[in-house]
Amino acid sequence: MKLTTCTADEVPGLLPDALAGRRVLAPVGEHPERTLAMLRPELPVTEPDAAVVVSTSGSTGVPKGVVLSRRALRAAAESSQQRLGPMSWTCVLPTGYVAGLMVLVRAHIAGRQVRFASSDLSDLEPAPGANAISIVPTQLFRAMERPEVLRSLARYDAILLGGAAVDADLLRSAIDEGLNLVTTYGMSETCGGCVWDGEPLPGVTVELDDGRIDLHGDMAFSGYRLAPELTAATLSGRTVRTHDRGQWIDGRLRVLGRMDDVVISGGVNVDLADVQRAVDALAPGTSAVVAVPDEEWGQKVVLLSTAEQDLAWWRTQLAGSLGKTALPKALTRCDVVPRTSSGKIDRQALLGALLEQKD
């Protein structure tokens, strides 16, 4: 079938046709030239039952086209409805990416109209009856400073929170404010979050292979657009092999970070996810950690921060929770910590900024 490219604003109007099998949608988002070069819209879609091709955020610098079938989208929406019950949905996320797209799909499957609101959550207005909304941690962090937004969010029966790791203190504070939060874990390749509050949704199976998370179910994607080798490395039947590490704690999945978060510095393994969590505990949302090549250490941990504290302060404060090798060895000031549309730290942008400064 021919690929229909569109803008994110066109997705709500075209999605019913895609779910009915009359077209295959491909939203073109933040980087249209790169995305179109990857999508190759002049070539047909060969995956059976394909409905939508969503682009990853490209935080690694190499965007991928994730082919989602009608079967997968329906399975993901129906499993969330089994967990929540029928809901009216408010959309505050870009519909060109999977988190916003799935809000539309869930509403369509439930036979409900979607309410759209601003990404800053300033104009939320739940519909009569039961309501749900999907947001990212950055939106929650900013909402905590705005009492009127918190009051609006508290009117929702379920607030799906995903797209990036969330600080534990932020989560507790938000729950104390009366927010009905549900933390979600998933990715574009699984039609968004398929593990809620550490528990797989109905029809989803989670397995750990030497700590690596594998996700199995009908919500699995069909393949990467025009990339069979990459597909074979990630997808086996209906099982998605992730790049994330996890463990079971009291019967719930805890995501520890990415497999490639572990770097070797001075001959010692350093888990960047652990370092990031320790940094976030001191100053949530202000800083990010990356590892850069270094002649002495092999890889060294660098902290990029909007906060005023100097490197000595950070090293002193972090010494209680991190080993000596994991402590930041350099500090770079930045005006803002760049994030992807899903709220994840954009490490590619950060590394690019560091290289520019070095030049």
Residue 313: CATH number of its domain = 3.30.300.30
Which of residues 256, 279, 308 is at a domain's end? 256
Residue 335 maps to a domain: yes
Q: Which of 288, 266, 344, 279 is nearest to 315 (CA)?
A: 279
CATH assignment of the domain containing 15: 3.40.50.12780
Please name the residues in contact with 344: beta carbons below 8 A apart, sequence gap of 6 or more. 57, 59, 163, 164
- Please indicate, yes or no, whether residues 28 and 120 belong to a single structural domain of this protein: yes
Domain-terminating residue out of 235, 256, 277: 256
With respect to residue 261, please indicate whether it lies within any of the assigned structural domains: no
Find where tokens 């019967």 sit: 251
* 66, 126: one domain: yes
Mark whether 285 and 209 lie in a shared domain.
Answer: no
Q: Identify the domain containing residue 200 by its residue range.
A: 3-256
Whether 322 is in a domain gets the answer yes
Spatial distance between the Cα atoms of 321 and 323, rounded to a whole number of angstroms: 7
- Amino acid code (one letter) for 334: C
Tens of each residue's pLDDT in the chain, 359 residues: 999 999 999 999 999 999 999 999 999 977 788 889 999 999 999 999 999 999 985 444 567 999 999 999 999 999 999 999 999 999 999 999 999 999 999 999 999 999 999 999 999 999 999 999 999 988 998 999 999 999 999 999 999 999 877 878 889 999 999 999 999 999 999 999 999 999 999 999 999 998 999 999 999 999 999 999 999 999 999 999 998 999 999 999 999 888 878 888 887 888 898 899 899 999 988 999 998 888 778 889 999 999 999 999 999 999 989 988 899 999 999 888 887 766 778 877 787 777 666 55
Domain boundary among 256, 276, 292: 256
| Same structural domain, 241 and 291 | no
Question: Are residues 236 and 321 located together in one domain of the fold?
Answer: no
pLDDT of residue 357: 65
> Residue 168 domain-assigned?
yes
In this prediction, residue 338 carries a pLDDT of 84
Q: Are residues 9 and 31 in the same domain?
A: yes
* 174/302 same-domain check: no
The pLDDT score that the predictor gives to residue 348 is 73
Query: Are both 97 and 75 inside the same structural domain?
Result: yes
6: alpha, beta or left? (left if phi > 0; alpha if psi -120 to 50): beta
Number of domains in the chain: 2
Same domain, residue pair 227 and 278: no
The predicted pLDDT at position 62 comes to: 67
Task: Verify that 224 and 276 share a domain, yes or no.
Answer: no
Residue 155 counted as domain residue: yes
* Domain presence at residue 208: yes
Same domain, 353 and 213: no
Q: Are residues 193 and 300 in the same domain?
A: no
Residue 166's closest CA among 147, 144, 191? 144
CB 59 within 8 A of CB 34: no
Q: 52 lies in a domain?
A: yes
